[in-house]
């Protein structure tokens, strides 16, 4: 009896401990409620389909040639200006020729046919041969001066309408083709060369006009403006030849152009108001020449290095040097005369 009572007391004392142990185990085994409330990340969307680039159009080219091409339609950045120049020159000269034929709608048909023909030829040319920016600008200037020379010559010489139109067409194309032929083997020309060619054309026109005016006023005869109209085209060619040994900065070319011609214009206006006869253009001619020499000496600068060409081997000879010097000569009557000169070293 005493043994049974002892076992009952021991069981009552151990029951709370077993309950506490079971509750602690259940608490540790259950996961935290916070982990169950976290959102499940969504799956990434599938990548968008990008179509491949279209295949290249046009003739097959080597990788090096395609890398050097300016665009898909041109080999150089001046190709568009060349096409526009040929289109415009073809429309003008072809229209004049069609009008000279005297047929119905001749001017329209001649302008359209000639413009499309020359424009297509220019488009094909600039696709295979690079035409750079300054090169195309010179070609446009050559077209304008060529048209001026041909049309002016035909008008002053009183050629027939057909002959005058053909002459203008040929001289216009001569100005364009001459520039392209001279620059194609060497690539683009520098800004200084472009300015030098423009300066030479302008000086050729002004000086020829002043010389003609001097002789006309001295002899009191009718003036023939044909040399003055043809001179700019010839002056452009002379400027191209001068661009080979010389490399001037555009700023210096502007000074050599603006200052002498400005002085000549002032002398011409003042002389016309105060005097008469051949002394007026002669004084303007002397003022232009003297101011040019002074400006040339005052704006002397170290030799300008010719920029490297992207499409050609270059055009410069580093062994050529030129320097302006005064020249003194003896006349036949035992007198002395002086003037500007140029010392050339090869």
**Torsion angle of C-alpha atoms 120, 121, 122, 123, degrees rounded to 10:** 50
44: which residues sit within 8 A by CB, 6+ positions away? none
Torsion sign (Cα): 147, 122, 129, 66: positive
Residue whose tokens read 């076992």 = 7
Q: What does each of the 346 residues of the chain score in pLDDT, given as a tens digit?
A: 554 455 555 454 455 544 454 454 444 444 554 445 556 777 777 777 777 766 655 556 565 555 467 888 888 888 999 999 999 999 999 999 999 988 888 899 999 999 999 999 999 999 988 888 899 999 999 999 999 999 999 988 888 999 999 999 999 999 999 999 988 877 778 888 899 999 999 999 999 999 988 888 887 777 788 888 899 999 999 998 888 888 888 899 999 999 999 999 999 999 888 888 888 889 999 999 999 999 988 888 776 665 555 545 554 444 445 555 566 666 566 655 555 565 555 4
The pLDDT of residue 151: 92
The pLDDT of residue 318: 42
The pLDDT of residue 232: 92
d(CA 200, CA 211): 16
The pLDDT of residue 34: 47
Q: Provide the token pair at 91.
A: 């429309």
The pLDDT of residue 257: 94
- Cα 168 to Cα 87, 95, 148, distances in angstroms: 15, 11, 8
Q: Supply the pTM of this predicted model.
A: 0.67
Q: Provide the token pair at 299.
A: 């704006």
Half-sphere exposure for 208 (CA within 13 Å, toward CB): 19
């Amino acid at each position: 009896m005493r043994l049974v009572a002892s076992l009952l007391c021991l069981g009552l004392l151990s029951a709370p401990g077993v309950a506490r142990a079971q509750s602690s185990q259940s608490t540790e085994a259950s996961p935290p409620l916070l982990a169950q409330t976290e959102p499940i990340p969504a799956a990434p969307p599938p990548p968008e389909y990008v179509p491949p680039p279209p295949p290249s159009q046009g003739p097959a080219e080597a990788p090096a040639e395609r890398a050097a091409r300016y665009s898909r339609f041109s080999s150089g950045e001046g190709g568009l200006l060349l096409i526009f120049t040929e289109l415009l020159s073809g429309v003008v000269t072809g229209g004049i020729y069609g009008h000279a034929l005297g047929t119905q709608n001749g001017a329209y048909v001649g302008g359209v046919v000639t413009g499309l023909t020359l424009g297509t030829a220019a488009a094909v040319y600039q696709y295979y041969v690079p035409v750079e920016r300054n090169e195309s600008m010179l070609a446009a200037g050559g077209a304008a001066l060529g048209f001026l020379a041909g049309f002016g010559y035909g008008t002053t010489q009183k050629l027939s309408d057909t002959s005058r139109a053909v002459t203008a067409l040929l001289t216009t194309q001569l100005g364009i083709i001459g520039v392209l032929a001279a620059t194609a083997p060497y690539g683009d020309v520098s800004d200084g060369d472009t300015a030098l060619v423009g300066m030479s054309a302008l000086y050729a026109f002004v000086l020829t006009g002043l010389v003609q005016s001097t002789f006309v006023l001295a002899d009191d005869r009718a003036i023939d403006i044909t040399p003055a109209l043809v001179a700019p085209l010839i002056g452009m060619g002379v400027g191209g030849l001068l661009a080979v040994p010389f490399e001037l900065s555009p700023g210096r070319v502007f000074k050599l152009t603006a200052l002498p011609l400005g002085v000549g214009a002032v002398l011409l206006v003042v002389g016309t108001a105060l005097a008469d006869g051949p002394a007026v253009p002669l004084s303007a001619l002397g003022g232009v020449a003297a101011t040019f020499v002074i400006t040339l000496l005052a704006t002397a600068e170290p030799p300008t290095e010719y920029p490297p060409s992207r499409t050609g081997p270059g055009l410069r000879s580093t062994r050529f040097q030129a320097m302006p010097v005064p020249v003194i000569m003896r006349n036949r009557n035992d007198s002395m005369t002086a003037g500007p000169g140029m010392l050339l070293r090869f």
